[in-house]
Amino acid sequence: MLSSKPNRALPASAWGDDTDEAGKVPVKRLSKDEAQALTAVDAHTINPWRVVAVQAAVGLVVALVCGAITGQTSGFWSALYGAGVVVVPAALMARGMTSPLSSISPMASALSVMLWMTVKLGVALVMLGLAHKVVQPLVWPALLAALLVCIKVYWVALAWRRKN
């Protein structure tokens, strides 16, 4: 709830920063190096579509391996469906999170994250529930193996962020 009372600022001495006597922070021009360092921080962000693409590629590789191990197309299709249980909801969330509406304000961003995470989980659960009807005959170990390996791509994405 919004309050009609004005915000009372703490005295400048409470923060121990570079505020002047009036409690205002002086404007400082950035040097070229400081500006480049600031933009380099944004360069470490990860494109969610890259993560989705890598998940899809990894899922296809796992499906090919499962098909080769089982010697049947059912192992391939089960693993491919398992990868889809991760990739399709992730693509929906990436689409929602990269839309311009999700970055209007901090509140809109927070609500967008919650909404799209709910959609992502819901779609994944529905896809898992329909797996036995969509893939005939279903090979659960192949499906679960692909699902788990594709989920682990998120950890790889964190490693990409650290390297950059």
pLDDT, position 125: 97
Residues 82, 140 contacting (CB under 8 angstroms): no
Where does the pLDDT of residue 1 fall: very low under 50, low under 70, confident under 90, or very high at 90 and above? Answer: very low
Question: What pTM does this model have?
Answer: 0.71
The DSSP secondary-structure symbol of 133 reads H
Please state, in angstroms and rounded to a whole number, the distance separating the CA atoms of residues 110 and 123.
20
Whether the pLDDT of residue 147 is over 90: the answer is yes
> How do residues 75-119 score in pLDDT, each as one tens digit?
999 999 999 999 999 999 999 888 887 777 888 888 888 999 999
DSSP label of 24: P
Between CA 11 and CA 23 the distance in angstroms is 7
User: And the tokens for 161?
Assistant: 């962020």
Q: Of all residues in the chain, what percent carry a pLDDT higher than 90?
A: 52
The string of DSSP letters for 77-132 reads HHHHHHHHHHHHHHHHHHHHHTSGGGGSSHHHHHHHHHHHHHHHHHHHHHHHHHHH
